[in-house]
Structure 1
Amino acid sequence: MTRTAPSRRRGRGAQPEGPRATFRQLLPFLFEHKKVLVVVAVLSIVGAAASLAQPLLVGQLIARVQQGQTLGALVWLLIGFVIAASVISGYQHYLLQRTGTAVVYSSRRKLIARILHLPISEFDARRTGDLVSRVGTDTTLLYAVLTQGLADAVGGAILFVGALIAMLIIDPLLLLLIVVVIGVSVVVVVLLSGRIRSASAAQQEKVGELASGVERGISSIRTVRASGATERETAAVEDLAGEAYGLGVRIAKISSMVVPVAGVALQLSLLVVLGVGGFRVASGALTIASLVTFIMFLFMLVMPLGQAFGAITSVNQALGALGRIQEVLDLPTETQDDEPDAVAAAAPVVGAPAIEFRDVRFRYPDAVIAAREAAAKEAQFLLADAHLERASDGIPIDRDVLKGVSFAVPRGARVALVGPSGAGKSTILSLIERFYDPTGGSIRLAGHDVRTYPREQLRAQFGYVEQDAPTLAGTLGENLRLAAPDASDADCERVLRSVNLGDVLERSPLGLDAPVGEDGVMLSGGERQRLAIARALLTEAPILLLDESTSSLDGVNEQRMREAIDAAAADRTLLVIAHRLSTVVDSDLIVVLQNGVVVGQGTHAELIESTPLYRDLARHQLLV
């Protein structure tokens, strides 16, 4: 029986709908280019003046023809104004196009800088594709504010006011009738504009979900294919695309009611002018030249009005996207969470351990837990790093990850963390790196609370290899130099050979410049793991944090890796997580964790005697 595709709505259950932006929030993006906008405004005034002069000249020409006078230089003057208005309009269009592109570029730079500095908890609570969508799709809509909105609004407003004044001078009665018709159309547009903004915001949210769905499918394509889930994943993403399409159609329907309003206003106004104006010409209250001039001004009045209606649609769509952009820009960065008095580290406390945990307690923020639960339900499996156990009814029964953990890592020692999955081992390394801060207790580095260090300086003390460490798209050299940008080629080649990656280095004539492919697809799993370890070894960090660093290696490479780590750790402190006890039996200290609690500490021989859990683990791995 074919299963239906899971709904992706639940995947965003932890994320509230983004706030709606106001035009005031758009102004800072525009004011960055105020000099250009001032030039555009001046050109708009000059161009509007050139356009407004044309009906007056046409009226003069008609009057001269009626009186049998020569046209003289009026024809050339009219042609000059037409050409001037066209040239100004073209240059103005170029400036606005360039400025619109600059606004998109500026907003993307701000978003990228903010996203890459967000706390880790934000990445755990949000979907990657949605963040990418905000950088790409949402920022693009800001372009329309300048190219379709601002140009039409500024130039159109000048034309509108100028035409209004001229028509008032020519015939106030006709103008009064026109104002009634136009007033009704303005009320209609104002009522519809709010619906456009809310529909646009909803569409951008759905586009973000769509990007997340596509990113999920592509990043897990091998698993999806191997699981026979291609059709289900395709159907799920197509459902999201269909929902985004539906919202787009809704916007189109509302917009389709806005655009014709200008056309209807023009047609009704023209009929009124022809009917009433023709009667007034016949009665002698208005000349033919004045009527023609009035009609030309009427077009100048209604045409910018139609442009303004279109601008309202564009601006409201942009404001819907800006709400999602502003939501991210308003998030605090990770460094903003540093202690106000965080300064360069003081001298290490004499005799203090390299790392010390004092009654550390931790639970993930509710938003992260909710996001992980939603993702687990959607994929129908629990994420290993969520540290959640479920009862039969699917309700989490234990959300506390660490429950009063205390241990010390002596300087220059090799310490191992062992225990079953979900015990909190990886969380301990995350807390040391300050990806999160403990909810209770303290973590100390060289005798000082880690929260007194600026994060950048703190992390410089560690060479960190995370579980399933990613390989970045790029080259071997770029991956190695991620944490040591100034490392020489000789140092890079030395560290690669130390982890038995010399054959990878020699596989291509490009050497360190050889590409590794997206997510390191051109390397095996073991090679990716060794590359991550080589990256950590290349740094001069005094402390190495290794999370399951040899789990994907065969016996030969594991032995080579242990030798490389032994050599690198000779004058460093080493904290390692391992499931295979054979890799850590010679550690100076082994800390055993279970359900977020330390249940034993000591050497391998001591734990065999004192800790039943460790003894069982050793027995299952044939070490007893």
Structure 2
Amino acid sequence: MNTVPEPRTRRSPFARPSKDDGPRATFRQLLPFVFEHTRVLVWVSLLSVLAAVATLIQPLLIGQVIERVQTGETLGLLVWALVLFVVISSAISAYQHFLLQRTGTAVVLSSRRRLISRILHLPIAEFDGRRTGDLVSRVGTDTTMLYAVLTQGLADSVGNVLLFIGALIAMLVIDPLLLLSIVGVLAVSVLAVVSLSGRMRRATSLQQTRVGELTSGIERAIGAVRTIRAAGATEREERAVSEKATQAYEAGVEVAKASALVVPIAGIALQASMLVVLGVGGMRVASGAVEISSLVTFVMFLFLMVMPLASAFGAIASVGQALGALGRIQEVLDIPAETAEDAAARPATPVEGAPAIAFRDVRFRYPEAVVAAREQATREAIEAHVPLGDEEPSADDVLRGVSFEVPRGARVALVGPSGAGKSTILALLERFYDPTSGRIELDGQDVRELSRDELRARFGYVEQDAPTLAGTIADNLRLASPDATDADCERVLRAVNLGSVIDRSPAGIDTPVGEDGVMLSGGERQRLAIARALLAAPPILLLDESTSSLDGLNEQLMRDAIDAVAHGRTLLVIAHRLSTVIDSDRIVVLDKGEVVGQGTHSELVESVPLYRDLARHQLLV
């Protein structure tokens, strides 16, 4: 039996990290993103080898030029050969740079695709326990950090290694003593960079987390901008979001500090090595142990050896930053998809005579991470005067041994006070969550034995405050029915009294609805959501307070439309108003997560005080 996980004692994968407790990633986890482009990387490596050979030849040619000038010999084709190798190495480097830039962009694309795919398949609990802006930040800013891995020295490491080794061998041949004099300087610089890479990773991870929090804050403020303006809370919101921006800035300063220590090391190593070489080399030239041409050649090889060293330092820094961002990316990729268990699902096998829906002693408690996230969201909503939902997740059981049946073809209404667990029942039916204990059946079969796709195809679900997607009316209608014709779309729109919306615009069903449906009224948005469910023509309709935003006339028209399409279908309805449920075949009364009564309207008025009180006020909240 699949159950909701027990509250986790470990830190939530989405909890805010401290400076020393960020998401961790290893270099091994980074390699799959890079090796997706193996063919290009092999070609880049070959080019870097050719560039390294062309570059290593140049100091030798310059040494030959100096010797011929000293002896008075003619230079012949030597100068032209030097120019040729300079041009060749430059052309190869330019083409290699293009390939690296393009491949770096491709790595970002592939990582974004993987992350988007996983985010859209995450369990609903992860969204309920998470800020949307932080997930958006991971797709946007975190994946961009992977770009530097290829563009700052990692991909052309083969050529750099060859260049470093070639220069080292040449310097050893020219003068072992001079080489020995700079080994210590270079070793210290390498150790310093390696020790700083861990600090770079931690600082980057913290910075990306702060950027995610900033994105969440901005998204929250923009999403509730009308409410915030009306409440006179604009200045408070500005201060709150500005504080998050300041925290992101401070985290960025930590990255800058770590980077400022890494970047100059290569330059310091080169300067110190040059001073040593000029001092020791000058004495050896004066003593006649080394020719001036050999010293010049040695110095050029020193530059060539430090160049790949500087590139390696840059690669270490960029990899450290990438690992900090990759930790946040990998954190999401490691969360099992919602459908991870669906591979073992069985085909639907309806039981003859079984009710369409049955709850058998169902208990449910929200995961600890969801409760904590909602508590934080509630505090912020109160501060910003943003309206709260009716059912906030509680650390206690939301449902306590709920049992009831919905016969096939019947209309059953769920009623009760706010927080009674009505919306949770529909969420469990859709398997956004699984019950902590008990059993939920669809046509006699445990819903956990079905794949979620097959299960949800049986339902037409209109959630509370159903969102309207940015785009057109047709885009919203075809979300669950992509093959619906224009005629089908217009038919369901008129069935729910939305014909005037398409009649008043020459665009018809292609009329834009604006961001979050801002160009429609609240009632129109809710009717559009119902039309979307009706268009899919499922055997079971789940309506969560679907008429709460409608006036009396539109509610009656909506009831008529639902009555028309309900023939032969099963309906499970949550409603505010007595008029919406009074004609239901069965009414289930909930209070504090328990069923306190079932029956028809007349039966419940006589037997259930809570229902009688709600009916007396003509309002079921």
Q: So what's the TM-score if we normalise by structure 1?
A: 0.94
Report the 3-state secondary structure (helix = DSSP H, G, I; strand = E; otherwise coil) of the residue aligned with 1:609. Answer: helix
Equivalent residue for 2:475?
A: 478
Counterpart residue identity of residue 360, structure 1: V
Deviations 1:149-190 (A, max 9, x none): 314644333221211111011111000111111111112212
CA distance in 2, matches of 1:331, 1:588: 42
Deviation at 1:360, TM superposition (A): 0.6
Indicate if the aligned counterparts of 1:14 and 1:370 stay in contact, CA closer than 8 A: no
Equivalent residue for 2:389?
A: 384
Root-mean-square deviation (CA, aligned residues, Å) is: 1.7
CA distance in 2, matches of 1:73, 1:578: 93
Deviation at 1:455, TM superposition (A): 0.3
- The answer to whether structure 1 residue 502 and structure 2 residue 499 are counterparts is yes
- Where does 1:486-565 land on structure 2 (aligned, <5 Å)? 486-565=483-562
Indicate if the aligned counterparts of 1:342 and 1:454 stay in contact, CA closer than 8 A: yes
Deviation at 1:380, TM superposition (A): 3.3
CA distance in 2, matches of 1:380, 1:622: 26
Indicate if the aligned counterparts of 1:149 and 1:315 stay in contact, CA closer than 8 A: no
Counterpart residue identity of residue 419, structure 1: G
- The answer to whether structure 1 residue 425 and structure 2 residue 422 are counterparts is yes
Indicate if the aligned counterparts of 2:391 and 2:418 stay in contact, CA closer than 8 A: no
CA distance in 2, matches of 1:408, 1:613: 21
CA distance in 2, matches of 1:239, 1:510: 44
Work out which of the residue numbers 368, 375, 378 in structure 1 matches 2:377: 375
Report the 3-state secondary structure (helix = DSSP H, G, I; strand = E; otherwise coil) of the residue aligned with 1:422. Answer: coil
CA distance in 1, matches of 2:266, 2:169: 20
CA distance in 1, matches of 2:311, 2:599: 77
Deviations 1:338-395 (A, max 9, x none): 3x5312212x21111000111111010111111112222333389535546xxxxxxx
Indicate if the aligned counterparts of 2:16 and 2:209 stay in contact, CA closer than 8 A: no
Work out which of the residue numbers 410, 413, 418 in structure 2 matches 1:416: 413
- Where does 1:429-448 land on structure 2 (aligned, <5 Å)? 429-448=426-445
**Is the alpha carbon distance of 1:173 and 1:260 closer, same or farther for their aligned partners in structure 2, counting shifts above 3 Å?**
same
Counterpart residue identity of residue 549, structure 1: S
- The answer to whether structure 1 residue 145 and structure 2 residue 149 are counterparts is yes
Indicate if the aligned counterparts of 1:185 and 1:262 stay in contact, CA closer than 8 A: yes
Deviations 1:107-153 (A, max 9, x none): 00000000000000000011100000000000001001111131464
Deviation at 1:74, TM superposition (A): 1.5
- The answer to whether structure 1 residue 327 and structure 2 residue 331 are counterparts is yes
- The answer to whether structure 1 residue 155 and structure 2 residue 159 are counterparts is yes
CA distance in 1, matches of 2:15, 2:167: 53
Equivalent residue for 2:347?
A: 344
CA distance in 1, matches of 2:505, 2:419: 40
- Where does 1:161-200 land on structure 2 (aligned, <5 Å)? 161-200=165-204
Equivalent residue for 1:4?
A: none
Equivalent residue for 2:579?
A: 582
Moved more, 569-578 or 249-258: 249-258
Deviation at 1:402, TM superposition (A): 0.4
Equivalent residue for 1:124?
A: 128
Work out which of the residue numbers 462, 467, 470 in structure 1 matches 2:464: 467
CA distance in 1, matches of 2:564, 2:245: 54
For structure 2, the 5+ residue unaligned runs are 1-11
Indicate if the aligned counterparts of 1:372 and 1:386 stay in contact, CA closer than 8 A: no
Deviation at 1:417, TM superposition (A): 0.3
Deviation at 1:507, TM superposition (A): 2.1
Equivalent residue for 1:259?
A: 263
For structure 1, the 5+ residue unaligned runs are 1-10, 389-395
**Is the alpha carbon distance of 1:462 and 1:15 closer, same or farther for their aligned partners in structure 2, counting shifts above 3 Å?**
farther
Indicate if the aligned counterparts of 1:471 and 1:520 stay in contact, CA closer than 8 A: yes
Counterpart residue identity of residue 343, structure 1: R
CA distance in 2, matches of 1:92, 1:518: 43
Equivalent residue for 1:278?
A: 282
Report the 3-state secondary structure (helix = DSSP H, G, I; strand = E; otherwise coil) of the residue aligned with 1:360. Answer: strand
Indicate if the aligned counterparts of 1:14 and 1:371 stay in contact, CA closer than 8 A: no
Equivalent residue for 1:357?
A: 359
Counterpart residue identity of residue 445, structure 2: H
Report the 3-state secondary structure (helix = DSSP H, G, I; strand = E; otherwise coil) of the residue aligned with 1:574. Answer: strand
Deviation at 1:599, TM superposition (A): 0.5
Report the 3-state secondary structure (helix = DSSP H, G, I; strand = E; otherwise coil) of the residue aligned with 1:335. Answer: coil
* Matched residues, number: 604
CA distance in 1, matches of 2:69, 2:197: 47
CA distance in 1, matches of 2:59, 2:15: 60
Report the 3-state secondary structure (helix = DSSP H, G, I; strand = E; otherwise coil) of the residue aligned with 2:154. Answer: helix
- Where does 1:203-282 land on structure 2 (aligned, <5 Å)? 203-282=207-286
CA distance in 2, matches of 1:219, 1:501: 25
- Where does 1:443-462 land on structure 2 (aligned, <5 Å)? 443-462=440-459
